[in-house]
Amino acid sequence: MINKLLTLVFLFGIQPIFAQQISLDSCVAAAERNWPSFKKEISISQKRDLIEQTLKKNYLPKINLSGQLSYQSEVITFPEVQLMPDFFAILPQDNYSVGANISQTIWDGGITSTAKDIQMAQNNVEAQQLNVETYGLIGKINKLYVSYLFLKKSEKIINISEGEIDENIQSIASAVKNGVITSSELNNIEAEKLKLQKQQIEIQSSISLVLSSLSMITGLQLDTNYKFELPTSADIANKGIRPEIELLNAQKKLSMASTSQYKTSRMPKFVAFGNVGYGRPGYDMLNTDMHGYYMIGAKFTWDVWDWNASKNNEEKVKLQTLIIEDNISSMEKQIAIEENEFLQEMDRYTKLIKLDEDIELLKESVYKNAQSKMKNGSLTSTEYLKIFNEWKRSKLSTELDRINLIKSNINYKHSLGLK
């Protein structure tokens, strides 16, 4: 008998020691490694590097190779000098050329520099859009994690309640056998046990659903063997920046960079160039021999007047920037309201928990008294179950408010833009 007890203690008593611990932070960290949205950050960074490398090449020389073979039906003739056939050579109708064109930007009016700023700003907008997406996903993880904590607490309370019912069923069955109370009282208690079992099934189903969702997000194979740690409600010294605000700021910078683009588009551009070739005819059309030729030079272009198109575009961008600034102001007010709501919730639940604990102690005392009366037949099962359910609800209310305090703390931290 002793050996059997030791075996049971080993199997069921020691097993929880080896239960794997998991925290809210570790769930978020696992999601960062698993969820596609988090992985896109690497692609955005690589894209930014490629854009920067490409724009740097705008000031490198550009070389273009070309070749041409042609035959034309007529060429320039000089009928006035037909009496001197050796003075002008007869131009050939078949032409051949191969050459290279080289150009070097001396100054592009600031287009490359502005394009770099715009591309970087666009890349930053994409990165902040990703942050907003992942911020929402972290909020989803927080919600699922807290739901699991409450469900496990509820499951524990239902188990305790079912144990109380089982204990009372044994006592009441004995009282029925001795004729102290009727069998209908026992049936009423047994029906309550079935209700508890029904609640247990619903809770276990919800737990399974929450674990399944968390597993999909984090990539972990979570099950009930994991022990979910209670998040700590440490003091928050610093305040982060919400991703929504960072996104709007990034959009504002992109809008301002676009203004510079319209200004630089009208600046003069200077380019040096060179052409080198071989064939016929070259630059000397009267030379019918195959020969080499070249040209070097510089040129500039300047869009002096564009009928105020650039000015109108600049005004449009300024209006867009003002709209973004209004959106930032509106978002900051909404965030401030959220933060205040969560602070109020934390204060409310802290006060409620103190009252919950006092109520729970009083309800437990009433329940224990009713339990004794039920056993000696001085209390009906209906009256007993009413007191029993009030005791059970008081325990659930206490745990619910404790979890809600944790939830409010997590939400407050999340509203500050902190992970």
User: Which amino acid is it at 222?
Assistant: L
Contacts of 288 (CB under 8 A, 6+ apart): 89, 90, 91, 92, 280, 281
Give the Å distances, CA to CA, from 163 to 55, 192, 259. 73, 12, 73
What pLDDT, on the 0 to 100 scale, is given for residue 262? Answer: 81
Count: domains in the chain: 1
- The reported pLDDT for the residue numbered 387 is 93
Measure the CA–CA gap between 175 and 401, rounded to whole angstroms: 38
Q: Rounded to 10 degrees, what is the CA torsion of 128, 133, 139, 143?
A: -170
Which residue spans within 47-146 are E strands per DSSP?
62-71, 94-107
Residue 96 in any domain: the answer is no
Pick from 392, 394, 396, 398: which is nearest to 349 by CA? 398
Q: What is the dihedral of CA 71, 72, 74, 76, to 10 degrees?
A: -90
Does residue 286 lie in a domain region?
no
Structural domain includes residue 277 = no
Q: Is residue 28 part of a domain?
A: yes
Round to whole Å and give the CA distance between 222 and 208. Answer: 10
Q: What is the pLDDT along the chain (419 residues), one digit of tens a residue?
A: 444 433 433 333 444 445 689 999 999 999 988 888 777 777 888 888 888 888 888 888 999 999 999 999 888 876 666 655 566 677 888 999 999 999 999 998 888 888 888 988 999 999 999 999 989 999 999 999 999 999 999 999 999 999 988 888 888 888 888 887 888 888 998 999 999 999 999 999 999 999 999 999 999 999 999 999 998 765 555 677 899 999 999 999 999 888 888 888 888 999 999 999 999 988 888 888 899 999 999 999 988 887 787 788 888 889 999 999 999 999 999 999 999 999 999 999 999 999 999 999 999 999 999 988 887 888 888 898 999 999 999 999 999 999 999 999 999 999 988 76
Residue 393 lies in a domain: yes
Residue 202 covered by a domain: yes
Distance CA 31, CA 26 (A): 9
DSSP state of 89: P
The pLDDT value given to residue 222: 94
φ, ψ for residue 153 (rounded to 5)?
A: -65, -40
C-alpha pair distances (Å), 126 with each of 121, 234, 244, 270, 399 = 9, 33, 12, 34, 42
Residue 330's pLDDT is 96
| Residue 297, beta-bridge partner list | 273
Strands (E) across 187-316 are located at 227-228, 269-280, 291-301
The pair of structure tokens assigned to 220 is: 């972990």
Residue 189 within any structural domain of the chain: yes
| CA 197 – CA 178 distance, rounded (Å) | 28
Residue of 102, 101, 93 lying closest to 281 (CA atoms): 93
Q: Tokens at residue 229, please?
A: 């740690």
278, part of any domain: no
Three-state DSSP state, 1: coil
pLDDT of residue 234: 56
CB 58 within 8 A of CB 105: yes
Instruction: Count other Cβ atoms within 10 Å, centred on residue 17.
Output: 6
Closest C-alpha to 127, from 289, 250, 3, 231: 250
Query: Cβ–Cβ contacts within 10 Å for residue 66, how many?
Result: 11
What is the CATH number for 326? 1.20.1600.10
3-state secondary structure 356-393: HHHHHHHHHHHHHHHHHHHHCCCCCHHHHHHHHHHHHH
Domain that holds residue 161: 14-60+108-267+302-415
